[in-house]
A and B are shown apart, each in its own frame.
Chain A
Amino acid sequence: MMRLPKFEYHTPQTIAEAVKIMAGAGPAGQFVAGGTDLYPNMKRRQQMPKTVISVMRLAELNQITGDGRNGLRIGASVILTDVCEHPIINRDYPVVAKAARTISTPILRNMGTIGGNLLLDTRCNYYDQNYEWRKGINFCLKKDGDVCWVAPGSSKCWAVQSSDLVPVMVAIGAKLRFVSTLGERVIDAAGLYNDDGIDYLHKRPDELLVDIQLPPTNGWRASYQKLRRRGAFDFPVLGVATWIATDNSDVKDARIVLGGIAPSPVQITEAASALIGKPLTDDQIIAAAEAAYIKARPLDNTDFVYQWRKQMARQYTLRALRDLQS
């Protein structure tokens, strides 16, 4: 079996206690929820926190409150299975439940949390490998090395944002609440992600994600389409989240967000412009899909041939927007 490095483990019962332990631990500290992302990374020696602080006993992080009329708060430690099955999420935010149901497998969803999913490490075929394998290629920029094997001339890491919920949260305009010993802040989901595979979050490591706030549901519809090799297990290698607000029959506002192709979710503003101010007709959809295709620039660091993934940006945007037509 692959072995975990040694670490100290804490299970605080309150947010105040959690952020205090974190402040004390400094850069060697890291929060853990379900551990489905963190522990494999530790086994592969990609992340090596000395102090690991569980967020699973924090009551406030385990709740779902509100509804579509007033907006919904989902605690960061809510497991993905509960997101999939929650009656109000299914009734009022079906796109969130649907995207969550495409995540990996039922077993993973029983462990993994929504918070962990939104903070998921970026992924790359040259990075998500054990230490010995990475030694074979003399490591890479993201960890222990100095070259990016995907784009050897680049000084940036292109590891991929690989959560299904991230593009959805960005598209529907969710907000995220963080707490640290320095206080609290609430930001737009879109503002959290940074287009850099190493430094992929606009967030300090000591900030605790407390909850995800979904906006009231009046006047908009959203959809999500995911590309992956198999019907389970697989991370998205392209995810298309679409959101439109309508005014009578015209599209008033729109957001098309692609996940799984770059270090951060990619908003295709050209695709949104193609839709805004007109009814959602086939022609508008084709124009938006074309814009998504042009802007999608995946690299060769996930499953599938990357040129084909780029072509699929058109097909999957078409599908996602057609889901909104009915």
Chain B
Amino acid sequence: MKLEESKVFVNDCFSGEPASCSYACPFGLDIRFFMERVRKGRWIPAYKMFRDTVIFPVIVSRLCPQPCRNNCQRPSIGDEPLAVRDLEYACTLYALNRRPENFVIPPKTQRIAIIGAGPAGLSCALNLAQKNFHVILFEKETGWGGELRAHPDFKLFDEEIALQFSSTRVDFEFNREIGSLDELTGFDAIYVATGKNGATFDLMESRDSDLMNTSRPGVFMGGALCGVPLMESIAQGSLLARIMEAYFQTGRAARPDSDRVITDRVHFLNHSGEEKKALVTMASPDCYTEGEAKAEASRCFLCDCKICWENCEMIKWFRKMPPRLGVEVYTDSQAGSSLSKRSLIRETYSCNICGKCKSVCPVGVDIGALMQFSREDRLRTNKNIPAFHDFWIRQFDFHTSEAFFVSPSKEMKSCEYLFFPGCQLGAAEPDHVLKSYAYLQETLNAGIMVGCCGAPAYWAGDKKRLSGNVERIRSIWDSMDRPTFIFACAYCENIFRLLMPEIKQESLYTVMAKDDTIVPARLFEAAAMFDPCTARDDLSMQEGIRILAGRANVAIEELDNPNRCCGYGGHMRLANPGLYEEITKHRKDASDKPYIVYCANCREVFRQKGKECAHILDMVYEIDQGKCAPTLKSQKENALEVKKKLMKRLIGDDFIPEKHEWDSIRLIISQELQDELDRKLIIEDDLKEAIWLAERTGERFLSDDGVFQCSMVKSVLTYWVQYKELATGEYEIQSAYIHRMKFNREG
């Protein structure tokens, strides 16, 4: 992986960049950073960063025309912009130690002549002197200041210039007018800053406005002489010092690499809902008191985009913004040995990949896509954690092999429509599939394919399984004369759109919505609509559900922030159980009304979490709401039951599920333990197999009170079972648990 490959996902993110005000600032001052300090009364750090950026804080804080205020975002709610300059000035008053730092830098060999001790020349001189170049400043007047000398506040500025030059050495030659550049010999560079209408030495026409150099090597020109306004003239000094450094090193004037290009990406955020705050007025006419300044700075929104953070528990949980995630995906991919530490594995597998971030981001940054990219890379390079996805990969394998079934409608060879209910719908409730298929068969003569779209393989980053599944579906689709797929699950729809865009799509719910003979049962008087994350872009599906719910005469409440993942997405539950609990709780609490859902996964999650909810198909077919979430065991049985009934109905054959030697074992499991096993994703069949194995090999432990314990390694997990034998082939399970480590008894 190359850094660019992971950064491309987050390049557009502007989180952490200077705010809109800074884009307007001639100095590019990080005003947000400044305000953060001022509001806390931290005058010294505020002053220091201000001084480092503008060189002459008192001059700038008195004379800057404040273009930043035009880019302040507070007026978006009707307030006045921040009094930026007054706060800068306050900072020069309340920072106790304003003495410039002594720069301990080895002296440079180059000598630079500067012509003109106005703002441009002074700024350049000071910037170069701070880098320990030898600077000689020639001025025809009796002192420094240039155009500022005529200003009523010149006394103040005079003191400021003296203060700022007090820790560095610059040789000033006043009363010295330069008539020709030939007078200046022995200099490595010359800066002509002779002010408005000053001497140009016939170089003006050859001046490059970007690099400030002229046709004469080593001679630069800038400031009011070139029509540059006062603040920009001061700002030029710092840039020119760096251009000259590049010139000394390479013989060519060039912008330094590190130069932050202030782009015009001015991003205005939405501040509606923020409290209005009036401009803080000054008690004394001249400047803010410390208290007033802190209050005024507190009006700053500290504009920084955090929209994804506010909408995503995962980003909040790890406190990492997109630019950092983009870099860490790359650095993790480079961490090879066990010595170098990876930092992002938990984040990568904690993402719901639900697309919420992308949908709220002003520039469409998709962290899910970045995490998916990382998951695929990790699997390919064996840096994945198999245990995070093993359970669902086994489910995927089951649904695409033993439970897989496809057939056109009775006595047909091909079909115009093929119902693809998805793996979870029938596993949760066989009638959802059987009854809705009966309807589609009757109305559209549709066929049916019971399988899996591949979401578990997709989330695991398992491209091999995913593409195998896609190839198979595609070739069946082709052999059936390319039917339109009818989906009951928005995730299947999304996966198909992504991987098999050539297959035409339709949603079961839009089909049903068009048929006004379908009147769902009114299971609730009022309910909140829980639109799944995956239906975010499918407005017709969303509308279809509302039409159906409307026919049932249910009063629908819309959620404030819809289309957030219920928690199921990305199969992140095992990678981050704590975050999973938090997300599911937030979703459950998003409304106190029961939910209408139309995703089998949402239904499963809410039922497990005890949230009253009904799938729209529960309403259409009046399925008993008293039933709790199906156990893992019944999910598998349900899927096989669906296949059995379909096979009988469409082909007339009897389906015979795979047989295992442990099938005849009977387990007694208390409800409490069953709930625990479901939470831990432990399937009853695996316990039977473990016991069968232990009974056959004799490898088990026995306690003094007659309890057996055995273990079995299966795939990436080790299963442990404690059981009592009640009769031959009948066992009462006392506990069962798993771990991911393997142990080696030879060791």
A and B: bona fide binding partners: no
